[in-house]
């Protein structure tokens, strides 16, 4: 990954190199490019274009630059300092993630690897979903998928059990990220992959401290982290809750991030 400037407007961008020979994932890389160039939302990293270097077998993508790095790095720094986000800050970030995810799902796209490392931050407070390399567009004939992609800590129970899954797997991962933003650590852990998967399958995780977080926030996490994907809310349902209970937002949130379409 390189930091570059576009010639036509001197805009700072990211140049992402993908070498087919090294990764052996040509289909996934081409998929990422096609998706990114079609998607256009303030809470999703924009792809401005791409070009090939056939000599080296590499594809280069020109991506939007997020000037504050990834959410994972911010969480780690805060954990080391013991500096928790305020609940107002948590809701603002979560709301933006919901807007971005709504754009993906509205376009029939399942991200499949939502995690703090793939969420980019900007100094102006904007939060953006990035790295759609393992995303998948779902048509009417393939509403359920069965290929395991993603990161174990953020994987849904249906993924851990190698069962068919749909866009609700992103809702689970969103719940993991929401918990992580609040507690500065992911909800699920284990001494090995087997115990981790067992905790995920049974939705076993430490309760969020009630003296630190409102009932609205802990309830939201619980609704997203339901074992049965059919009981998890859709992203549109989640967004509707920002206009009515159980979610009560800081007054300035809706005015700053009101464009959810």
> Active-site residues: which are they?
113
Contact 225, 172 (CB under 8 A): yes
Q: Which residue, chain included where needed, has tokens 């206009």?
A: 243
* 32 backbone dihedrals φ, ψ, rounded to 5°: -60, -45
232 close to 171: Cβ distance less than 8 angstroms:
yes
Query: Cβ neighbours of residue 116 under 8 Å, at least 6 residues apart?
Result: 70, 71, 72, 75, 177, 180, 181
Omega of the bond prior to 68 within 30 degrees of 0, cis?
no
Tokens of 42: 């303030």
């Amino acid at each position: 990954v390189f930091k570059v400037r576009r010639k036509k407007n001197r805009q700072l961008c990211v140049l992402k190199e993908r070498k087919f020979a090294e990764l052996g994932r040509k289909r996934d890389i081409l998929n990422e490019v096609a998706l990114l160039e079609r998607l256009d939302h303030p809470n999703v990293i924009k792809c401005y274009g791409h070009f090939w270097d056939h000599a080296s077998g590499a594809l280069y993508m020109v991506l939007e630059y997020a000037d504050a790095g990834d959410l994972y790095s911010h969480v780690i720094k805060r954990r080391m300092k013991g500096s928790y986000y305020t609940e107002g800050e948590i809701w603002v970030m979560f709301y933006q993630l919901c807007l971005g995810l709504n754009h993906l799902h509205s376009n029939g796209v399942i991200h499949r690897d939502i995690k703090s490392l793939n969420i980019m931050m900007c100094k102006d407070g904007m939060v953006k979903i990035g790295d759609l390399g393992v995303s998948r567009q779902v048509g009417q004939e393939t509403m359920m998928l069965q290929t395991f992609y993603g990161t174990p800590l953020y994987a849904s129970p249906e993924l851990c059990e190698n069962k068919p899954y749909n866009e609700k797997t992103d809702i689970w991962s969103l719940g993991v990220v929401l918990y992580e933003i609040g507690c500065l650590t992911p909800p699920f852990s284990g001494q090995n992959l087997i115990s981790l998967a067992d905790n995920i399958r049974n939705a076993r995780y430490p309760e969020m401290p009630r003296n630190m977080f409102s009932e609205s926030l802990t309830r939201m996490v619980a609704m997203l982290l339901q074992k049965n994907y059919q009981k998890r809310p859709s992203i549109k349902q989640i967004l509707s809750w920002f206009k009515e209970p159980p979610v009560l937002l800081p007054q300035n949130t809706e005015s700053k991030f009101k464009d959810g379409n």
